[in-house]
Amino acid sequence: MDGFNWELLPGFQSVACLQFDCDWRREWIDYILSQCLSVRKVDVTAHRSDTYLLLKHVLIRNPLKDLEQLHWAPSSPDGVSIAKQLADQCPHLSEVRGLCRNKINYRGVHLC
């Protein structure tokens, strides 16, 4: 990605809760989420239509191994597959809100 240095920024590794509402380019959201290695709770209103691609790129750089809750708006047509991928990759995940239009329980993770 042009203009980005993917080295970890001091302080971001210890962020436990992250909340933002933005219409930034996908790369900026990817960059911020990729920096927060220990994030447990994420609440994002991204105003993006490419949610699947965005989260796929984040998971490549940051496996979100400590993630417990994800609240994401707006919902996505690919929301169920994104939520299932997160549930498979994030061992502590218990709740995903906003990505899916219907309530689903997948491997003990509440997807709604």
User: For residue range 29-60, what is the model confidence (pLDDT) as tens digits?
Assistant: 888 888 999 999 999 887 766 777 888 888 99
Look up the domain containing 99 and give its range: 15-111
Average pLDDT over residues 72-95: 87
In total, how many domains does the chain have? 1
Closest CA to 79 of 50, 39, 108: 50
pTM: 0.83
Q: What is the pLDDT of residue 3?
A: 58
> Is residue 76 in some structural domain?
yes
> Is residue 72 in some structural domain?
yes
> Is residue 2 in some structural domain?
no
Q: What is the pLDDT of residue 2?
A: 54
Q: Cβ(50)–Cβ(24) under 8 Å? A: no
Query: Helix count (H) and strand count (E) of the chain?
Result: 3, 6
> Is residue 42 in some structural domain?
yes
Residue 100 burial by CB count (10 A; 0-12/13-18/19+): exposed, middle or buried? buried
> Is residue 78 in some structural domain?
yes
> Is residue 45 in some structural domain?
yes
> Is residue 1 in some structural domain?
no
> Is residue 3 in some structural domain?
no
Side-chain-facing half-sphere of 5: CA atoms under 13 Å: 3
CA 17 to chain centre: 12
Q: What is the pLDDT of residue 69?
A: 95
Cα separation, 47 vs 42, in Å, equals 15
Q: Which amino acid makes up residue 30?
A: D
